[in-house]
Amino acid sequence: MVEPIQGEAGVVVPYDGYMADVKEICEKHNVLLIADEVQTGLGRCGTQLAVDYDGCKPDIVILGKALSGGLLPISAVLASDEVMLTIKPGQHGSTYGGNPLACKVATAALEVLRDEKLTDNSVARGNQLRDGLNGIIQAGVPGIKVVRGRGLLNAIIIDEPEGSYSAEGKAWEVCIAMRDNGMLAKPTHGNIIRFAPPLTISEKEMNECIQIIEKSVCDAF
């Protein structure tokens, strides 16, 4: 079981072709590949699924969170008949599985994702964000060491001395400054701050975000 891009670890993006290599190794050793796309799937990383970057087809895909557009709790396990039909009728059940309202909301959310081309917007606005943040680094503004991500799942690494990370370190100070300046984000794993705005974010709104991030970093440093 793998995340195509590690979320809680701080948006760790693997090398191109990583998932295809994992799939090849799994097939070689007769192991099922399960892709956890709860955070990365449904347009978040600029493709329908993050594994699509590598042309990888996992044996099982796990979805959630964005599946209902954030309105109702719903998750899904996707797999081929070869995998799914190993569970026979009556062997497994779920009290709330297949809730009609949640399923209807999920269907509507998927239609919006398709009809409003939110995956394309994820690519465009993600490129805009990373270009803007890298521009801050190139301008010599202190505080941001690395920008990384894909689509609208991104992170910055705050420039703190190795081993000095703490729950109330510079990354936390930057997040508090961002809150005071009108934007919410959270640190993950010490000196990393993750950004995962709505897929509907506009070009103007993203420019405002970049300006807030720059001001907040300057405030903290």
Query: Beta strands of 10-116 (E only): which ranges?
Result: 34-36, 60-63, 76-79
Helices (H) and strands (E) in the chain, counts: 6, 7
CA-CA-CA-CA torsion sign (108, 112, 115, 120): negative
Q: Which of 38-47, 104-113, 162-171 has the lowest mean pLDDT?
A: 162-171
Is residue 69 very low, low, confident or very high in pLDDT (cuts 50, 70, 90)? very high
pLDDT of res. 162: 60
Lowest mean pLDDT among 68-82, 119-133, 201-215: 68-82
- Tokens 């955070």 -> residue: 39
11-20, 66-75, 118-127: the lowest-pLDDT one: 66-75
Q: How many CA atoms lie within 13 Å of 53's alpha carbon, on the beta-carbon side?
A: 24
The tokens of 122 are what?
Answer: 């994820």
Contacts of 19 (CB under 8 A, 6+ apart): 2, 4, 35, 50, 51, 53, 54, 56, 58
Mean pLDDT in residue range 76-85: 94
Burial of 123 (0-12, 13-18, 19+ CB in 10 A): middle
Reported confidence tier of residue 112, pLDDT bands at 50, 70, 90: very high
Instruction: Say whether pLDDT at 129 is over 60.
Output: yes
Question: What local confidence, expressed as pLDDT, does residue 166 receive?
Answer: 61
18-115 is classed in which CATH architecture? 3-Layer(aba) Sandwich (3.40)
Q: What is the pLDDT of residues 165-215, one digit of tens each?
A: 566 689 999 999 999 999 999 898 789 999 999 999 999 999 999 999 999
DSSP-H helix ranges across 116-202? 118-138, 170-180
* Terminal CA-CA length for the chain: 39
Output the DSSP codes for 110-132: HHHHHHTTHHHHHHHHHHHHHHH
DSSP lists the bridge partners of residue 12 as: 6
Fold (topology level) of 118-220: Aspartate Aminotransferase, domain 1 (3.90.1150)
Q: Per-domain residue ranges for the chain?
A: 18-115, 118-220
Confidence class for position 164, pLDDT limits 50, 70, 90: low
